[in-house]
Amino acid sequence: MPAGSTEAGPGVVLRAQDVRVYFSKKGFLEKGTVVKAVDGVTLSVRRGEILALVGESGSGKTTLGRAAIGLVRPSSGTIILNDGAEQEVGRARGRQWKALRKRLQMIFQDPFSSIDPNMRVYDALRIPLAAQGVRRREDVRARISDVMKRVGLPEQIINNYVFQLSGGQRQRIGIARVLIFDPVLVVADEPVSMLDASLKGDILHIIQNESRTNNVAFLFITHDMAVARVIADRIAVMYLGQVDEIGAAEATVLDPLHPYTKAMLQASPVIDTSLKDKIKKVNIIGELPQSTAHPSGCKFHPRCPYAMDVCKEQVPALKEVKPEHYVACWLY
């Protein structure tokens, strides 16, 4: 089996194979028009790794994340969870689906918005446990105490009401409510983009610790390359529903291959200038195409200063150009 983005095998917890998620004739869209939110993504998430999904607004990050945990069903392609036995995520029903939902979790930008502020901390954590069938008082206490430690919440606040907590503490409870299910994969959708710097660092630290210590894999969605670099083991760059490049975080940031990745790094205000000097400047042409009218061939070709004839006609496949570093670009 080849290593990297397209691998299968025991170290892989989730594998997306040529996944497409198309939305059709919704609301303002004319009948017959289709939004290709995810358009042929193949990638693997390894056990305990943090894989960042980076891309500008509308590139399909959230849709891919939702598909990964079964919240949206792919129009085509498969998503296989390898959690002891292999299982297709989009096909689980009934009891199987309930079991699977515990193992695949999602942290949102505003995770505490779903918690009733008039609840005590204890209950905010006890209720999801009860849904899991954990009801013995000693077990409940032990699990709650464990998860509170993991997210850095002091034991003394266990009987406080949620409304009495600070923003940071509520964010931690939101994450605790996900971790208490003992997930194998968590999709974290822009979990720190609304937080101030110090809190951001704390939350990133919790995520990193869960990945290292408890082997929880994260699909970490962000539009911020600098955050991706700090947190992730690998980075996948998305453009118009496709993965253009995937590789180790440092390699993707220090030695980007795809012209789009280079342009994104140049535009990132938080990547230092010495690094920017090293990356060849790529001047993107024009605007992001409409979500319903994707270009033929390589979707980036109308905006790419290096576009050749082949780029207009044929879709480039993800290719391993350097060890474990894949790019979908006809330049390679």
Ligand X SMILES: Nc1ncnc2c1ncn2[C@@H]1O[C@H](COP(=O)(O)OP(=O)(O)OP(=O)(O)O)[C@@H](O)[C@H]1O
Residue 259: name its binding partner from Mg ion, ligand X, none (Cβ under 5 to 8 Å by kind): none
Residue 57 within binding range of ligand X, rule CB under 6 A: yes
- Identify which of residues 129 and 188 has a Cβ nearer to Mg ion in the complex: 188
Whether residue 61 contacts residue 53, with contact meaning beta carbons closer than 8 Å, is answered with yes
Residue 62 within binding range of Mg ion, rule CB under 5 A: yes
As given in the structure block, the two tokens for residue 85 are: 């036995």
- Identify which of residues 12 and 221 has a Cβ nearer to ligand X in the complex: 221
Q: Which stretch binds Mg ion (CB under 5 A): 26-34, 54-62, 104-112, 151-159?
A: 54-62
Instruction: For residues 108 and 178, give the distance between their C-alpha atoms in angstroms, rounded to a whole number.
Output: 10
As given in the structure block, the two tokens for residue 16 are: 């997306």
Residue 62 within binding range of ligand X, rule CB under 6 A: yes
Residues 25-44 that bind ligand X (CB under 6 A): 26, 35, 37
Interface with ligand X: number of residues (CB under 6 A):
14
Residue 23: name its binding partner from ligand X, Mg ion, none (Cβ under 5 to 8 Å by kind): ligand X
| Dihedral (CA of 196, 157, 213, 114) sign | negative
Q: What is the dihedral of CA 156, 158, 164, 165, to 10 degrees?
A: 80
As given in the structure block, the two tokens for residue 32 are: 């017959």
Closest CA to 234 of 43, 38, 10: 43
Closest CA to 280 of 268, 267, 263, 302: 263
Instruction: For residues 63 and 10, give the distance between their C-alpha atoms in angstroms, rounded to a whole number.
Output: 26
- Identify which of residues 57 and 159 has a Cβ nearer to ligand X in the complex: 57
- Identify which of residues 61 and 150 has a Cβ nearer to ligand X in the complex: 61
Residue 74 within binding range of ligand X, rule CB under 6 A: no
Amino acid at site 138:
E
Least distance from Mg ion to the Cβ atom of residue 187, Å? 11
* Contacts to Mg ion by CB under 5 A: 62
* Contacts to ligand X by CB under 6 A: 23, 26, 35, 37, 55, 57-63, 223, 291
